[in-house]
Amino acid sequence: MDAEHTNHLEVGLALPEHYGAALWMATGGRTRLASRGRVTALLAAEKQGKIHFNGLYTAKRGKRIVASLWCLNQPGRIATIWGPGRLPSESECTVDTLLREAIEKATEQGCHLIQSLVGADNPGAGELLSRGGFRPITILDTLQAYSDEFYAEAPSQELQWTVCEDRRDPSYVDLVAQTYVDSLDCPELDGLREIEDVLDGYFATSGQSTEYWFQLHHRGVPAGVLILAHHQDANQLELIYFGLVPAVRGRKLGGEVLRLVIDIARQLDCQSVVTGADQRNLPALSLYRRFGFHQVDSKQLYLLSLRRGNMAVA
């Protein structure tokens, strides 16, 4: 790093009085698509004890924040980075230092993977992440269907389902693992995390409840899994994951799964159903559109593996 950009540079965790400015920069501040409402909501959630900013890093010159990122450690040995963001006049090397700090801390905390979703609100973050060893994987679409747009009849008897009583049951874990075989959704993730860790992440997203976790059966044989979360505050049902084992694919059972999802949403009187899909997974996208889902957001997924033997080199 040249002298111009090392003089008086201070890198470390954000002070409480800098939370707002740091979040604003990390989430795309200074771009016309950045949302002040998002920062306000995050600050309110922190005051209520719902989240913490232990991984919010800043680079300062004097009292001025010149770069920031938020590395959020999550259940399932995964961390998510928001940002990084920087002032246009600030060197990329400053962000390199921030990323090294965040990666080192995530590694110390036992994370196996760091992900980042880069959208139009912070377009420069992708290049900065790539400098730090992250790989661009794919574009993930967020899809949503509203209750008055549901295109589905009630589910038939083609599939049967039972509620998951124990997410750690070996037979359930094995069934989930089978659904990942030859998956078209982010196959690059295969082998980067243990299935148990993935389920821990799903469990956190589900509000630590398996009330809407199902094991699917076809003609009496385990056929797949469906994992949902009911977000009552947003009056929304989230389709976190569904997968079928290879032996039953190609039998149009995906449509039966979505009929079940929509039927549950109707029973809960949800305003909408939301999910996500890899843009490369054309069969899944076609299925969702057939049932009234439409794209509401798209973000580029970046990954950095922290497991030994998989470490990327910056």
Mean per-residue pLDDT over the chain, rounded: 90
Q: What mean pLDDT do residues 257-286 have?
A: 95
Residues 237 and 279 in one domain: yes
| Residue 116 is assigned to a structural domain of this protein | yes
Residues 196 and 240 in one domain: yes
> Which residue bears the tokens 């900065």?
128
Please state, in angstroms and rounded to a whole number, the distance separating the CA atoms of residues 113 and 178.
Answer: 21
Residues 290 and 176 in one domain: yes
Q: What mean pLDDT do residues 151-176 have?
A: 90
Each residue of 165-208: pLDDT tens digit? 899 999 999 999 999 999 988 999 888 889 999 999 999 999 99
- The Cα-based distances of 192 to 165, 201, 217 in angstroms read 27, 14, 28
Residues 18 and 92 in one domain: yes
| Residue 291 is assigned to a structural domain of this protein | yes
| Residue 64 is assigned to a structural domain of this protein | yes
Residues 161 and 230 in one domain: yes
Tokens coding 76: 């399932």
Question: What is the predicted pLDDT for the residue at 152?
Answer: 74
| Residue 233 is assigned to a structural domain of this protein | yes
The boundaries of the domain holding residue 156 are 144-298
Q: What mean pLDDT do residues 259-271 have?
A: 95
**pLDDT for residue 298 is more than 80:** yes
Question: What is the predicted pLDDT for the residue at 121?
Answer: 83
Question: What is the predicted pLDDT for the residue at 80?
Answer: 97
Specify the CATH number for the domain of residue 242: 3.40.630.30
Question: What is the predicted pLDDT for the residue at 92?
Answer: 95
What share of the chain has pLDDT > 70, as a percent? Answer: 93
Question: What is the predicted pLDDT for the residue at 32?
Answer: 53
